[in-house]
Amino acid sequence: MAAAIMQGVRATKDLSSANYKRSCFATPRSLPERKRSSFVIHCDGNLTSGLNNSSSRSVRLSANAVSTKQENVAASTASKPGHELLLFEALREGLEEEMDRDPRVCVMGEDVGHYGGSYKVTKGLAAKYGDLRVLDTPIAENSFTGMAIGAAMTGLRPIIEGMNMGFLLLAFNQISNNCGMLHYTSGGQFKIPVVIRGPGGVGRQLGAEHSQRLESYFQSIPGIQMVACSTPYNAKGLMKAAIRSENPVILFEHVLLYNLKERIPDEEYVLNLEEAEMVRPGEHVTILTYSRMRYHVMQAAKTLVNRGYDPEVIDIRSLKPFDLYTIGNSVKKTHRVLIVEECMRTGGIGASLTASINENFHDYLDAPIVCLSSQDVPTPYAGTLEEWTVVQPAQIVAAVEQLCQ
């Protein structure tokens, strides 16, 4: 699965001419034996550091470390019960099950009806449920988002599809001032059980406006929950949970993950909106990631295992609030943290996650938290330049090797 995501991504070894540097967060003043340190990650995967190597806990490399079962899911998929679905089909199945279960659930957005949505998540639903429950709207994001919020106030459970998540910036006023705050400003008289979902992230040469990561835009809005799916299994489970939630939920879907295939259970299941997923248990370093970067991390993990490292990989899934229970237990075990995200570096999810870990688990850290993020630039259209803006597996490998020295 990871190989499918990385198809077409070129090696990053010869990119040093880009002179791209990322500085990680330095830990605040803390215990006397821990010195301020900094990392610089280069596009060629090289990492330089001022880290004090006399850490209180040294990492022992596992000479016989092997991949865990989670890394070899594809090999045993055929023998598992259930049925195979692509990620967009899993989203549709979860949506359809909830529409069958609850007549208040409805969908609205551009081309969600008879066209079936820009990525076919709502294909066939208009014919089954009718034009009122699967409502095609004009190209007017602010208007139909406000209409959905008003419908939620009257008791419906609308799902808003943004044809592209970047288009929902046109509805930012509705999402911020109404969707997130009306429950509070009405004194609890209204609930806003709205789901806002759609494709986003860096695609394959979609240009700057269609390659945005809006997690950082929405994370500061009070009253909004945010989740990001990364597999068909969690896409369906998070979709169902978001629809049933009494809170407004933004579900981030990555444009490059829609065609991922996975076998999911035949029986009904609903995931917890506030729970992270342990993708690969390990001992040496905690790698926190989500969405498409999960597959970049897992590709890097194979290289790291071959070199004797034992990384623990966690898909945080819940972008707001963070699952600090799962994250904290991992930090207490590994004492080192690497965050890998596709979001922008300035004010991104990684920045918030770094602050949360430093505030809650600083005494368990033996090295500064390293955060690998996308560059703070508009995503170029040129394919080679587009790759330079996003974290690549070679950079992840280099960061882990330096952290574990």
Q: Which of 59, 52, 2 is nearest to 256 (CA)?
A: 2
**Rounded CA gap, 321 and 360, in Å?**
14
**Rounded CA gap, 198 and 165, in Å?**
6
Distance of CA 402 to the CA centre of its chain: 25
Residue of 42, 183, 210, 335 marked active site: 210
**Rounded CA gap, 354 and 288, in Å?**
10
Q: Is 335 annotated in the active site?
A: no
3-state secondary structure labels for all residues of the chain? CHHHHHCCCCCCCCCHHHCCEEECCCCCCCCCCCCCCCEEEECCCCEEECCCCCCCCCCCCCCCCCCCHHHHHHHHHHHCCCEEEEHHHHHHHHHHHHHHHCCCEEEEECCCCCCCCCCCCCCCHHHHHCCCCEEECCCCHHHHHHHHHHHHHCCCEEEEECCCHHHHHHHHHHHHHHHCCHHHHCCCCCCCCCEEEEEECCCCCCCCCCCCCCHHHHCCCCCCEEEECCCHHHHHHHHHHHHHCCCCEEEEEECCCCCCEEEECCCCCCCCCCCCEEEECCCCEEEEECCCHHHHHHHHHHHHHHCCCCEEEEECCEEECCCHHHHHHHHHHHCCEEEEEEEECCCCHHHHHHHHHHHHHHHHCCCCCEEEEECCCCCCCCHHHHHHCCCCHHHHHHHHHHHCC
Residue of 89, 141, 215, 341 marked active site: 141
Q: Is 210 annotated in the active site?
A: yes
Q: Which of 198, 327, 319, 179 is nearest to 246 (CA)?
A: 179
Instruction: Kindly list the catalytic residues.
Output: 141, 210
